[in-house]
Amino acid sequence: MNNIISLSGNLLLIICLATSMLQSLNLFTANSYTNNNVKLFSTIQFTSIVLAFLILIFLFTQSNFGFELVTFHSHSEKPFLYKISGAWGNHEGSLLLWILILTLFNFLYSLSAERDKLYKNKVIAIQSILIIGFVLFSIALSNPFTLNESPQSEGLGLNPILQDPLLAIHPPILYFGYVGFSLVFSLAVAGLLSSNINNVWAETVKSWTFLAWTFLTAGIALGSYWAYYELGWGGYWFWDPVENASLMPWLAATALIHCVVVLQKKNTMQSWTVLLAIITFSLSLMGTFLVRSGVLNSVHTFASDPGRGLYILSFLFLVLITSFTIYALKSDGIDKENSYSIVSRDAGIMVNNWVLITILFIVFLGTIYPLFTDLVLNTSLTVGPSYYVMTITPVIIILLLFMIISPLVNWTAGKLSNVIVKMRYVLISSLTLVLILSLYFFLFSLTELTIIFLCIILILTSISSGIIYSRKNIIITPSLGRTLSHSGFGLLLLAIVSNAVYSEEKIFDAKVGDTLKLSDNTFRFEKINQFEKQNYNSIQAIFYLMDKNKKVEKFSPEIRFYNDPPTITSETSIVHRLFEDIYIVMNVTQATNSISVRIHVKPFMTFLWIGVILIILGGVLSVFIKNKKINA
């Protein structure tokens, strides 16, 4: 029976491979058969991978230990949800997920209405070449349907820190973003080949780019939130290489979404937009390579295999060389004449493009340099988080400045005096607010106050320019997406800075009945519970935040002892309040009569996540909003 399942899984992959090869022919020939059946073939590509993926999930839910992948990454006593998510919580399965999303975007695009049919077929041909690359990889080097030489009775289990509802959905969402840029890449390369990069092209590209960007943003945010409550270090971003690997395509993509809009509105910046599209997808590929090859020394390293790394690396280089060659040959002269004055929205967007690229370069250098010294100089080192903070801070100030000014000036030629007039109330109120803040919160340095000041202006100007009040109803303007995302970004940065300055933490050796004090907060250590769950045993401590003698909030941090694989994890207990999170985590100690407890007070965390949600909402709106007024 298992032989048949394994065979059909592989067969489905081969069907997808064969159809993709047929589709890729459209790039080279005007074969009428393949050209006329694009929709059908795209459906076959997608359906075959959906079926293969469902088979894999089925194998995991059945805990079929005849298969290598299930044996290594699952366990019969694992909760049902994690059996399903176990299907993509490993290298082979996540690769299949990657292919699934590649074919999904291919399929969705094949359904879309595109005036130029030959161009559309080229896009699908390029997308199919990408599919070929990954399906070959899956069949040859990381086959999810490999059988065990001898059937096993029990699996090795899934790493307990991955057994988390958020982490079940984090990879699909992140991949949706990463892989979404494959279609943007295909659209760009096909556009170069067909020489039709213009505002009509941008119209189509815009929706796909915003879609991928929104998912990438959400994926990064979910990962960050997971790290915040699961790793128990009190932080949400560690400048870890794996995190950086997802941040780099995001930075390039953020530059890209702005350029696509400019291209759509003004029919300029052709070659730069196309270049960004290529760079963004290349960075997505590089992210996959960095995470999946195991070359990174990361807190998140889950899989490693040099052979696989080599394949992805070769594929990455192939994609890079081919696309840049096409770019070099075809991009010459595609730019339409465009002159704009230094004070104009065009210039502002261009400056911030460069600022984003600079941040990208900073992150790239910090991520790659340790790899370089390790491989070439044979020296082990790490780049500390302060590198990123110190170098990015001044650049962020420039970014904020132009984020504020650009939307207020006109395209092509604007006037600074107009900006100041438009901003006068916002400027005065922000300045007053910051002055009051600086008196009350005296820990802020001048740089931090500058950033906070700019953030407040950004939020206020975004809101005031985004929503126009008419007599009766609020009209949603095309810029509402920008309003949400930009004010969300302001809020996010505001929260990051205040959080960094005002976070507090303290470690206690606590016995039951103890009273613990951290700044204004008093906690009581009430009792210890012990209990057994399906696949772990747990020690739980109960703490109460006290207000005089009243219990205000309950905390229940845990230490879990998982059986398969045998691992100990600390579960944090977080209480979210409007202005601060209180975060308690405990650890096993050598001492028997007390436990180690770490209490964090993290201000403004709620605002940080609200900021992120606003950014995402802005992205969602921008997928749908056309550049005309829509009545709410």
Partner 1 sequence: MTSPVKKRLIKFLLSLIVLAISILIIVYNLRDNIVYFYSPSELQDLNTSDVRILRLGGLVSTGSIQSETNGIHRFKINDGNEEISVKFEGILPNLFAEDKGVVVEGKYIKDELFIALKVLAKHDENYMPPEVIDSLKQTGNWQGE
Q: Within 10 Å of residue 425's Cβ, how many Cβ atoms?
A: 10
568 touching partner 1, by CB under 8 A: yes
Stretch that binds partner 1, among 174-182, 379-387, 443-451, 517-525 (CB under 8 A): 379-387
CB nearer to partner 1: give 456 or 586. 586
CB nearer to partner 1: give 128 or 450. 450
Q: Where are the beta strands (DSSP E) in 434-473?
A: 467-469
237 touching partner 1, by CB under 8 A: no
Compose the 147-166 pattern: x for residues touching partner 1 by CB under 8 A, - for all others: ------------x-x-----
Q: Which of 3, 386, 470, 534 binds partner 1 (CB under 8 A)?
A: 386
CB of 298 to partner 1, least distance (A): 10
Determine the Cα–Cα distance for residues 283 and 250; give it in Å rounded to an integer: 9
Q: Which of 225, 387, 411, 502 binds partner 1 (CB under 8 A)?
A: 387
Q: Within 10 Å of residue 437's Cβ, how many Cβ atoms?
A: 16
Q: DSSP assignment of 322-362, as one string?
A: HHHHHHHHH-TT-SPP----SSSHHHHHHHHHHHHHHHHHH
Q: Which of 463, 587, 610, 617 binds partner 1 (CB under 8 A)?
A: 587
358 touching partner 1, by CB under 8 A: yes
The per-residue b/e assignment along 455-484, b for 16 or more CB within 10 angstroms, e otherwise, is: bbbbbbbbeebbeeeeeeeeebbbbbbbbb
Compose the 283-312 pattern: x for residues touching partner 1 by CB under 8 A, - for all others: --------------x-x-------------
Among candidates 69, 131, 127, which has minimal Cα distance to 99? Answer: 131
Q: Which of 381, 421, 428, 431 binds partner 1 (CB under 8 A)?
A: 381
CB of 300 to partner 1, least distance (A): 9
Determine the Cα–Cα distance for residues 372 and 369; give it in Å rounded to an integer: 5
User: Would you say 221 and 166 are in contact if contact means Cβ atoms under 8 Å apart?
Assistant: no
Q: Which of 62, 412, 477, 567 binds partner 1 (CB under 8 A)?
A: 567
412 touching partner 1, by CB under 8 A: no
Positions 592 through 631 that interact with partner 1 (CB under 8 A): 594, 596, 598
CA dihedral sign, ordered 435, 438, 439, 445: negative
Three-state secondary structure call for residue 143: coil
Determine the Cα–Cα distance for residues 417 and 422; give it in Å rounded to an integer: 9
CB nearer to partner 1: give 354 or 441. 354
Q: Which of 43, 61, 391, 477 binds partner 1 (CB under 8 A)?
A: 391
CB of 587 to partner 1, least distance (A): 5
509 touching partner 1, by CB under 8 A: yes
**CA torsion angle for 458, 461, 462, 468 (degrees, to 10)?**
170
User: Would you say 339 and 245 are in contact if contact means Cβ atoms under 8 Å apart?
Assistant: no
Question: At a CB cut-off of 8 Å and minimum separation 6, what does 322 contact?
Answer: none
Look at phi and psi of residue 160 and say left if phi exceeds 0, alpha if psi is from -120 to 50, else beta.
Answer: alpha
563 touching partner 1, by CB under 8 A: no
Determine the Cα–Cα distance for residues 363 and 359; give it in Å rounded to an integer: 6
Question: At a CB cut-off of 8 Å and minimum separation 6, what does 538 contact?
Answer: 530, 531, 532, 558, 559, 560, 561
CB nearer to partner 1: give 212 or 396. 396
238 touching partner 1, by CB under 8 A: no
200 touching partner 1, by CB under 8 A: no
Stretch that binds partner 1, among 4-12, 279-287, 462-470, 567-575 (CB under 8 A): 567-575
Q: Whose structure tokens read 């997802």?
A: 246
**CA torsion angle for 111, 618, 162, 496 (degrees, to 10)?**
160
Q: Which of 446, 566, 578, 628 binds partner 1 (CB under 8 A)?
A: 566
Question: Is omega for the bond preceding 165 within 30 degrees of 0, making it cis?
Answer: no
Q: Which of 166, 365, 449, 613 binds partner 1 (CB under 8 A)?
A: 365
534 touching partner 1, by CB under 8 A: no
CB nearer to partner 1: give 109 or 229. 229
CB nearer to partner 1: give 322 or 382. 382
Compute CA distances 88 → 99, 238, 246, 562, whole Å. Answer: 12, 24, 18, 21
CB nearer to partner 1: give 117 or 517. 517
271 touching partner 1, by CB under 8 A: no
Stretch that binds partner 1, among 450-458, 460-468, 486-494, 583-591 (CB under 8 A): 583-591
528 touching partner 1, by CB under 8 A: no
Q: Whose structure tokens read 């180690």?
A: 596
390 touching partner 1, by CB under 8 A: yes
Contact positions vs partner 1 (CB under 8 A): 159, 161, 297, 299, 358, 361-362, 365-366, 369, 379-384, 386-387, 390-391, 507, 509, 559, 565-570, 587-591, 594, 596, 598
